[in-house]
Structure 1
């Protein structure tokens, strides 16, 4: 029994030694005295997909505030890793990190490829306000894009911001920007907050009026309609009395009809006198046919069985009448 307990103790101790050897920190680093009364600042973990330099710089700012030692920095920074970054940390060779500087360089060397590229001013042109997007939501998206720029020109950014606004939903705000010409994004955002407050105030007034109209009783509605009708009738009577007594309506339409002057009848237009032809029409047709100014006529409308089959017209290129008689007939 005692022998079995000794073997179990040796096995546990050997497992602990193996687990200790699996850590990436060297014995020299782990021999550093542990700090007491540590204070840790909570912030988001890093999964390997975001910008590693941003995460590292933020962590170092917190570490410098609390004056962490190298061992505390390494252990605390390792606890902020998750996902792919945590898998990479578990694959680090054991006893290979001797200081926080080594850990920092190894981290950047492995994950710096995931750093976001800095954007330029032309990226702001792609941030357009959608048709059903509110002004506040659009400003938030625009601010996020501005924060990612490497260099910012305030005046040009204001012009892009004004151009990317929706011309219908923000018509009043666009006019205000053109009139005031703000020189900074902060001034443009201040005008936007003022515009949003005024719009919300107008919407609340309209909503209160609508609720008041819905709550109005039917008796009150009918009485208000009667009052309006009475006012209109009273106004019509006053106008009628001021203009004098109107003529009686009986026989008024017949009197007006008799007073109308009859319209003069238009004389029919006389047919123009055409110059007589000195050549047969068939010869003239052969000469003008195929010229640029020649236009073929419309096809005959009469059915073929009702037309004379022995007569042929070169102008219509169909049977029914001759070419000489074509222009003297109504070819239909």
Structure 2
């Protein structure tokens, strides 16, 4: 028995699109974004924003946009679309409204822009940090125009600050002018912070030793042709010192200052007696060895 010839299978469910939408041509240059999919669980408004942004890149007309949107639906969203009445979708705007209404339960409701009024510049907070905190909240609210953002930024400034005073004399007309006017004050604040850090470092370094000790340390460090640590000559044997420690962490205070601070706390072991009696320099005294011959600062 001869088989009956059949044509291609037809769609079991009529399309929800009108004939005009179904016949709209696809763009010649178009690259589908594999991440542009909706399964019914995400925020429908956020998805529409993402989808429309993608369509604007390729300048896709609204009729064709309907076809590409239907192809991006998955799961429960695809099931919803397939149950729409035949030829019931005539425009892109109609499809958008039906889509948002169907999946409004997954909408992420944003707080009103007025909540930005709660963000205030803290005591001692730099402008840069205040702007960072404020701008992190802007995308989370609805109805945030540039004019509204500018007004809330000004309202949240610390009253009496230098930037606040400058705004009382000359208020910016736009948000960009506001940030431009704030830039010199941000630079000054940054310079003052860096200067304070530098001063604190110098104060800490200067407190680590007395003026006389700092002068001694400077003279020793600036004296010419001083042998490298680990290569100095042992006055007893005439041979170079040998040590497995060839590099050392720089000290924040002089050796004699450290010894004077910790001598009575059991930190140091009893010194070995010196044997070079004939070669000692009697003008120098070592507190660690309790003998003449070298200064405490030069003691090993």
TM-score (norm 2): 0.45
TM-score (norm 1): 0.42
Q: Which has the larger radius of gyration?
A: 1
Between Structure 1 and Structure 2, the one with more helix by share is 1
